[in-house]
Structure 1
Amino acid sequence: MHVFLPVIDCGPFLVEELKRAGIAATEDAMTGLIHAPALPDLPWLAFARQTLPEATEVKEASINAWADHIITRIAGILPDAQPWRLHLWPAYGEGKAGLHRCDLIRTALNERLKKRRRALLRSLEESASAFSSETSLVQAVLTGPDAGFVSVSAAPQPSQLRSLISPFLGGDVPHAEDKAAPSRAFAKVIESELRLGQQIESGQTCVDLGASPGSWSYVAIQRGAYVTAIDRSPLRDDLMRNPRLSFQQADAFKFRPQQPVDWLICDIIAAPQRSLDLLLDWLRERQMRRFIVTLKFKGSDEYHLMDALKELAPPLCADFRLTRLCANKNEVTAFGVVA
């Protein structure tokens, strides 16, 4: 069985997304977790925050029993000399009791590893960076004090399924804060970069479509990149004066750069099909090397449009992601690296 942690309030949408992929999934009414007998052939689930492949149900009454169970699961599976990570979190209650119990389990686990398997303890790493081909991931989610699920993803599975398995605990990325940004929309760029494991860098070139009031251009300029901003309306005054920004009052859907750019960033307010077509056109024309593009929805009737993107975009990419970011509202963000 595979267990999915859905985006908050999106469990039914994830069930439907899996159904369209030919997988009969069910939502646990008590925990909100989604259970499915298989992973999708096209491993992009916009409404899954985190995936626990081959998860097994666990019922252990004590802290020590939980620690022993996890060690039993990883023994002989994780290579001693390769890095692995442990994600342990509660999916029950609203207070600190679940978090405290997870801390106690982790402490008990470390004590046992110190006595029995020092090599595994030495290779246990604390990181949220992108998975390497040698990184394994052990996940334990508590659905109650004495129940939960454990999933062991041995390398190279976390790297291979990076579109489904997040390096962040529970797939959650804290919102970035910057009061100097023109709007909170800048957080979508930061989160996309973190999930992708690449960021806009100094000296790179960016095209920002639908740029006004300028939050996405703001991030790129702060990094030292050169930005061509396209919109019908100008950006914030300080951005318009910045020497690394070139503003063009034009139709974002018709604009093309004279030569490929390092980043296409696009948070334009438009029907999702138009943004989807725009991204595919840029990908087919190889107009950019990396991209972050928001698909904005009204209601849920057009979520099925993403199925076409899952089929058409990945063959054009070296890395493709599609997810509702923590910073998204009724939006889904596509981001990745062009092949």
Structure 2
Amino acid sequence: MYRPFMLVMFLLEWLVILASVNVIRSANAAVSDYAWANIRRVNQEGPYLGIVVPNSFEMSPLLQSPSFVPHDKLPYIDVAGRRFRIGKVENKRVIVVMTGLSMLNAGVSTELLLSLFKIKGILHIGIAENANPQLQIGDVTIPQYWAHTGLWNWQRYGDGPEDKLSLESNGDYTRSVGYLELSDFNSNVKDQNLLNNVWYQPEEVFPVDGYPEIRQHAFWIPVNELYFSLAEKLEGIKLEGCLNSTCLPRRPLVTRVERGISANVFVDNAAYREFVYTKFNATAIDMESAAIALVCLQQRTPFLTIRALSDLAGGGSSTSNEAAIFTPLAAHNAVVVLLKFISLLNP
């Protein structure tokens, strides 16, 4: 009687364990068993370069390029609403993912890419608005630093730069980065500046090699030094300067710049463009790059961003935003520079 009883108890324990496993699998249903099997298979052939692209019109020139060769047996894996495309570019193994618009989508997609696959570096491409009046539409910029400029502490009416911000004494906010005084752009109502000031804030980051729940702070995130140094060799590339019958004043160029900024804002405003260029020496303005930079900083992964300028933020000589015309040209030029950069990388 004793041995059958022990056998029954043993079987019951295993049933409980199996039930728990099924609950865990159900809770993580976004990654199916089939997807996990393919991810393991792909990782056996890694590591890969991760190529992160915001939108389909920016990704299409890459996928249509003869330089992109899909994996012959496993061209893609779908996970959590994202499609991870497996293949080679310039004979280098790559995984390409489209994020969708905005900081949230860019951050989530990059985190998934780094968590699921063996990635040795991230290359991010796309179009951007331009804040630097010395550059033109079609130019491709490679910033050395990125910052998220959409994290604000918005000061209440009546307070000034000398007044502490709410929760500043707790260490949650700071006045070290700088601020935008909205009345500077509303001179007729300077004495009634109800919107007051917004103070830019650094992000909280939790690096993988740090202590859990012990935050660090970062505002300007540098790209990888080796990638940025290698990008100097791109500055002589010939880029496309005409779209159909519309040509730019000069042939676009590739240039390394000091800074780019990101926020969930399409900046079609000349006054704000002039402010960020004067305040931050920013050139490229977009909605995704800083999110990717922050994830790579926390994951200690090398990254580089290549952004082609599609318009002068707030408009140049045109009365409408130029991006509606020149987005295809800018997206094409960004991909041309990406392909050349990958060709320069060691195998």
TM normalised by structure 1 equals: 0.26
Larger proportion of helix = 2
Question: Which structure has more RCO (C-alpha within 8 Å, separation ≥ 6)?
Answer: 2
